[in-house]
Chain A
Amino acid sequence: KQEVTQIPAALSVPEGENLVLNCSFTDSAIYNLQWFRQDPGKGLTSLLLIQSSQREQTSGRLNASLDKSSGRSTLYIAASQPGDSATYLCAPWGNNNDMRFGAGTRLTVKP
């Protein structure tokens, strides 16, 4: 069964810093990997989707990389803003057609 670990569990930074959030997974046989954002009490919003054949994907200040062979993905946030404060979750999509989630990284960006 796929196990997903996200490090760090929580992160507090001043505005403007560049951030790196890490995700590792145990089963490298995945179709794709998705990064989500979750605000308190809300559903998940998709940020980036990296297909298994890709190595990275970019959207605005966000960049996600994927190394399938080592079971790792990284979400890079450039020039962080208070509005980036949320929980970030990664989820690899496995061969049994379901998606497993990490516990997330809770990010606080201070003005």
Chain B
Amino acid sequence: DGGITQSPKYLFRKEGQNVTLSCEQNLNHDAMYWYRQDPGQGLRLIYYSQIVNDFQKGDIAEGYSVSREKKESFPLTVTSAQKNPTAFYLCASSFRAWELFFGEGSRLTVL
């Protein structure tokens, strides 16, 4: 089945560690996105990529990094520079500026 796969579903990190969240899609979509969701708040855009080897910062890119080496993959690294990384992270993809589809999310907890 076509869709977006995020892994891991749950992740625990010690302070000072970098972690990478995986996002893979088999929908042949050009654009991919990373959002962060905190309790009671809307989704905030971290990074997005409209094409392979190109990506743009969203509203809250500080402390995060991404790569887009393949059309199907858009991993997000949460670096030690991110001061408050505990959150629910959602990956999405779309065919250009069209309907957005989401993965099931990854919950990151800093111990």
| Contact-residue size bin, chain A (C-beta under 8 Å from the other chain) | 20 to 34
Identify the closest chain B residue to A5 (Cβ): B42
A-B residue pair count with CB separations less than 8 angstroms: 58
Structural contact, A43 and B103, CB atoms closer than 8 A: yes
Structural contact, A103 and B101, CB atoms closer than 8 A: no
**What would be 28 A-B contacts, judged by CB atoms less than 8 Å apart?**
A1-B59, A31-B97, A32-B97, A32-B98, A34-B100, A36-B102, A41-B105, A41-B107, A43-B6, A43-B102, A43-B104, A43-B105, A44-B90, A44-B102, A46-B101, A46-B102, A89-B43, A91-B43, A93-B97, A93-B100, A97-B31, A98-B45, A98-B48, A100-B45, A101-B35, A101-B42, A103-B42, A104-B42
Does B25 lie at the interface of the complex (its beta carbon under 8 Å from any beta carbon of A)?
Answer: no
Structural contact, B100 and A99, CB atoms closer than 8 A: yes
- Residues on the B chain within 8 Å of A43, using CB: 6, 90, 102-105
Does A102 lie at the interface of the complex (its beta carbon under 8 Å from any beta carbon of B)?
Answer: yes
Shortest distance from the beta carbon of B91 to any chain A beta carbon, whole Å: 9
- Residues on the B chain within 8 Å of A1, using CB: 59
